[in-house]
Chain A
Amino acid sequence: MATLNLKDLRKSYGDVEIIKGVDLAIEDREFCVFVGPSGCGKSTLLRMIAGLEEITSGDLMIDGQRVNDVPPSDRGLAMVFQSYALYPHMTVEDNMGFSLRLAGVSKEERRAKVGDAARVLHLDKLLDRKPKELSGGQRQRVAIGRAIVRKPRVFLFDEPLSNLDAALRVQMRIELARLHDELKATMIYVTHDQVEAMTMADKIVVLQGGIVEQAGSPLELYHHPRNLFVAGFIGSPKMNFLPVTVSAVDGTGATVRLAGGSSITVPVQPGRLRAGDAVMLGVRPEHLRPAEQGEIAGEVMVVERLGGETFLYVQLGAGEMLVIQADGEIPTQVHEKIMVKLDPATCHLFDSAGLAVERAQRHPLADIHRTAGRKAS
């Protein structure tokens, strides 16, 4: 059992506040990912949980106990660092068994425990090596092994895959997900890579400027972003935004007039909007398609062909650029004039403050948990 509760957690360096009041609940066995642009405070928040940074104010609770003033090693946490932070002068076995040695565990017991962890991570043949004799992926596994050996209540990962090449990163991602299922432990994972966040997380916490913009399941963030920032941050390529005007509001949603003159009715809850409001229409590249009869006209400026899919960068009359994710087989050429079809059901509206207007219906997958049989909190 390990639940974490962050209550109005704050961190300041002198007069500069880095973490500006974070409230967050992380459930037992949850895989929680902190994601955000660099400098958003995600690593600082993780280090505060770890005990490596002092908490300026607020409460950090682990299993209902306030641990603000408990030293790192007594919090029952283990951390995997971005740089792996292996002890260069020790063998793999000594690296993994260091915490046990400090805890006064006997040599035999240490050996057995390290052996168990090494088997899980396929490190059993490397136990006598020094870190410098290992590849990047192996070092990463040793760092994870060092964490596993401690049998922590919570695992903390600080951008653990960012030093690996693309292929290895995918492999380690799968391995970590498997490990999470196997160890049944609570994990907190920091990354700036939203693909890692989307694929691994039970819960994603999007941070910006030291505040939580939104926390929820990956598909909740994808289908129901709370504001412009989250909408733009989750999804790749990022969501397109077009300034539009509300022309009518009724029970079926809000009708907005696009720059080209055509109108669409977006199924949102009508509550806050009034006719005449200037709002932002958000639509993801994968929800747009070129069509004979479309709502928006534009000229293709760039064509990126990835094989399976093609990205079209379309310049609209008003000067905005629209990204469309089209089929890999599409024959469209640069400077071709095309029409773009919008599906109103996949469109988002954001008010003048940048907050999302609630959609009329909740997406059926928004509450699906990555781990089978569980619902996101």
Chain B
Amino acid sequence: MHPKTREKIWLTVLGWFAAGLIFFPIFWMVLTSFKTEVEAVRTPPSLFFEPTLENYVTVRERADYVHFALNSVIISVGATLLATLIAVPAAYAMAFFPGKRTKDLLLWMLSTKMMPAVGVLIPIYLLFRDLGAIDTRWGLTVVYMLMNLPIVVWMLYTFFKEVPKDILEAGRMDGAKPKQEVWMLLLPLSLPGIASTALLSIILCWNEAFWSLNLTTSNAAPLTTFIASFSAPEGLFWAKLSAASTIAIAPILVFGWMSQRQLVRGLTFGAVK
């Protein structure tokens, strides 16, 4: 066998193995959601069993899925829109009118992501309590927006850097004011980048659990809270928890699947010309 072919086969096997490893927990969760509670905790675990929808029925009866899902959609999309709205002018200024400290500023913004969220839990909680923002959609939206803002600015900055400066200058010569420059030239030209930034932001918001668990109870609770509510103090009900998790991640899974081409393109934008 040609060494190149052998290498290719090895890489393929390795790739499938890695993919399987990552996918297995999700597969097992979906599988468990169709088992009975007894079947779910059996050792050794069974791969073949009589599937049941009983868990889904119980989950539906116990909690209003649509309410939580709607919260997830509103808060994720809202936070993403808000973050993009703030990040576009910031990234535009940093990409096209950089100052001496622009690079430092970007790094500082990103460094805030390195801090553990629990470090600011108490001050944020107190602020929320005094502002009456606990268990409100707008409160969680603002927190999610702040949480993602550094990444959104950073990504948009990278995409904007790819847009040739000449094109914006040509626009300026043609009489475009800064707002028109951004709206009519920069945004259309970096649309793929903006789309993948927004996608990533939505996914990050959707999966966020720390703040939603600490700042919401029922009114504004998104799907992550919904999942957590099935880990009861009396013990874990694995099958029900799996069913809840499956319907909680299903929308974002489908969404991610549909937009994967856009996501990959955005995340590798500029890396390969």
Q: With A102-B175, A102-B180 as given contacts, are A87 and B169 in contact (CB-CB < 8 Å)?
A: no
Can you name the residue of chain A whose Cβ is closest to the Cβ of B174?
Answer: A99
- Which stretch in A73-81, A201-209, A289-297, A318-326 binds the other chain? A73-81
Q: In the complex, which of the residues B166, B171, B176, B185 contacts A83, with contact meaning CB atoms closer than 8 Å?
A: B166
Can you name the residue of chain A whose Cβ is closest to the Cβ of B187?
Answer: A89
Once the chains bind, are B172 and A72 in contact (CB under 8 Å)? Answer: yes
Can you name the residue of chain A whose Cβ is closest to the Cβ of B176?
Answer: A102
Q: In the complex, which of the residues A71, A81, A89 contacts B170, with contact meaning CB atoms closer than 8 Å?
A: A81
Once the chains bind, are B189 and A77 in contact (CB under 8 Å)? Answer: no
Determine how close the nearest CB of chain B comes to the CB of A48; give it in whole angstroms.
Answer: 13
Q: Kindly state whether residue A345 has any CB partner on chain B within 8 Å.
A: no
Task: Report the Cα distance A146→B174, complex, angstroms.
Answer: 9
Once the chains bind, are B167 and A87 in contact (CB under 8 Å)? Answer: yes
Once the chains bind, are B173 and A83 in contact (CB under 8 Å)? Answer: no
Task: Report the Cα distance A72→B174, complex, angstroms.
Answer: 8
Q: In the complex, which of the residues B174, B180, B188 contacts A150, with contact meaning CB atoms closer than 8 Å?
A: B174
Q: Which residues of B contact A99 (CB under 8 A)?
A: 173-175
Q: Which residues of A contact B189 (CB under 8 A)?
A: 88-89
Task: Report the Cα distance A87→B169, complex, angstroms.
Answer: 11
Determine how close the nearest CB of chain B comes to the CB of A78; give it in whole angstroms.
Answer: 7
Q: Which residues of A contact B188 (CB under 8 A)?
A: 89
Once the chains bind, are B174 and A85 in contact (CB under 8 Å)? Answer: no
Interfacial residues of chain A within 60-105, with CB under 8 A of chain B in the complex: 71-73, 77-79, 81-83, 85-89, 98-99, 102-103
Determine how close the nearest CB of chain A comes to the CB of B185; give it in whole angstroms.
Answer: 6
Q: In the complex, which of the residues A51, A82, A88, A98 contacts B174, with contact meaning CB atoms closer than 8 Å?
A: A98
Q: Kindly state whether residue B164 has any CB partner on chain A within 8 Å.
A: yes
Task: Report the Cα distance A150→B172, complex, angstroms.
Answer: 13
Determine how close the nearest CB of chain A comes to the CB of B222; give it in whole angstroms.
Answer: 36
Interfacial residues of chain B within 159-183, with CB under 8 A of chain A in the complex: 164, 166-167, 169-176, 180
Q: Which residues of A contact B174 (CB under 8 A)?
A: 73, 98-99, 102, 146, 150
Once the chains bind, are A78 and B173 in contact (CB under 8 Å)? Answer: yes
Q: Which residues of A contact B169 (CB under 8 A)?
A: 52, 79, 81, 85
Q: Kindly state whether residue A50 has any CB partner on chain B within 8 Å.
A: yes
Task: Report the Cα distance A72→B170, complex, angstroms.
Answer: 10
Determine how close the nearest CB of chain B comes to the CB of A224; give it in whole angstroms.
Answer: 36
Q: Which residues of B contact A52 (CB under 8 A)?
A: 169, 172-173
Once the chains bind, are B172 and A73 in contact (CB under 8 Å)? Answer: yes
Can you name the residue of chain B whose Cβ is closest to the Cβ of A98?
Answer: B174
Once the chains bind, are A87 and B172 in contact (CB under 8 Å)? Answer: no
Once the chains bind, are B172 and A85 in contact (CB under 8 Å)? Answer: no
Instruction: Specify the main secondary structure of chain B where it touches its partner.
Output: helix
Determine how close the nearest CB of chain B comes to the CB of A188; give it in whole angstroms.
Answer: 14
Once the chains bind, are A87 and B175 in contact (CB under 8 Å)? Answer: no
Q: Which residues of A contact B173 (CB under 8 A)?
A: 50-52, 72-73, 77-79, 99
Determine how close the nearest CB of chain A comes to the CB of B162; give it in whole angstroms.
Answer: 12
Can you name the residue of chain A whose Cβ is closest to the Cβ of B100?
Answer: A14
Determine how close the nearest CB of chain B comes to the CB of A147; give it in whole angstroms.
Answer: 9
Task: Report the Cα distance A78→B171, complex, angstroms.
Answer: 11
Can you name the residue of chain B whose Cβ is closest to the Cβ of A88?
Answer: B189
Once the chains bind, are A87 and B176 in contact (CB under 8 Å)? Answer: no
Q: Which residues of A contact B166 (CB under 8 A)?
A: 81-83, 85
Determine how close the nearest CB of chain B comes to the CB of A67; give it in whole angstroms.
Answer: 14
Task: Report the Cα distance A365→B180, complex, angstroms.
Answer: 50
Task: Report the Cα distance A136→B51, complex, angstroms.
Answer: 64
Can you name the residue of chain A whose Cβ is closest to the Cβ of B185?
Answer: A87
Contact with A along B50-84 (1 / 0, CB 8 A): 00000000000000000000000000000000000
Interfacial residues of chain A within 232-289, with CB under 8 A of chain B in the complex: none
Determine how close the nearest CB of chain B comes to the CB of A296; give it in whole angstroms.
Answer: 50
Q: Which residues of B contact A146 (CB under 8 A)?
A: 170, 174
Q: With A87-B185, A88-B189, A89-B188 as given contacts, are A98 and B171 in contact (CB-CB < 8 Å)?
A: yes
Task: Report the Cα distance A150→B164, complex, angstroms.
Answer: 22
Task: Report the Cα distance A98→B164, complex, angstroms.
Answer: 18
Interfacial residues of chain A within 100-146, with CB under 8 A of chain B in the complex: 102-103, 146
Determine how close the nearest CB of chain A comes to the CB of B137; give it in whole angstroms.
Answer: 36
Determine how close the nearest CB of chain B comes to the CB of A22; give it in whole angstroms.
Answer: 21
Q: Which residues of B contact A81 (CB under 8 A)?
A: 166, 169-170
Can you name the residue of chain A whose Cβ is closest to the Cβ of B170?
Answer: A85
Can you name the residue of chain B whose Cβ is closest to the Cβ of A156?
Answer: B173
Determine how close the nearest CB of chain A comes to the CB of B181; give it in whole angstroms.
Answer: 10
Task: Report the Cα distance A87→B166, complex, angstroms.
Answer: 10
Once the chains bind, are A103 and B175 in contact (CB under 8 Å)? Answer: yes
Task: Report the Cα distance A52→B169, complex, angstroms.
Answer: 7
Can you name the residue of chain A whose Cβ is closest to the Cβ of B180?
Answer: A102
Name 21 A/B residue pairs within 8 A (Cβ), A-sorted: A51-B173, A72-B172, A72-B173, A73-B173, A73-B176, A78-B173, A79-B169, A79-B170, A82-B166, A83-B166, A85-B167, A87-B185, A88-B167, A88-B189, A98-B174, A102-B175, A102-B176, A102-B180, A146-B170, A146-B174, A150-B174
User: Which B residues lie at the A interface, using CB under 8 A?
Assistant: 164, 166-167, 169-176, 180, 185, 188-189
Given A73-B172, A73-B174, 19 more pairs with CB closer than 8 A: A51-B172, A51-B173, A52-B169, A72-B172, A73-B176, A79-B170, A81-B166, A81-B169, A82-B166, A83-B164, A83-B166, A86-B167, A87-B170, A89-B188, A98-B171, A98-B174, A99-B173, A102-B174, A103-B175
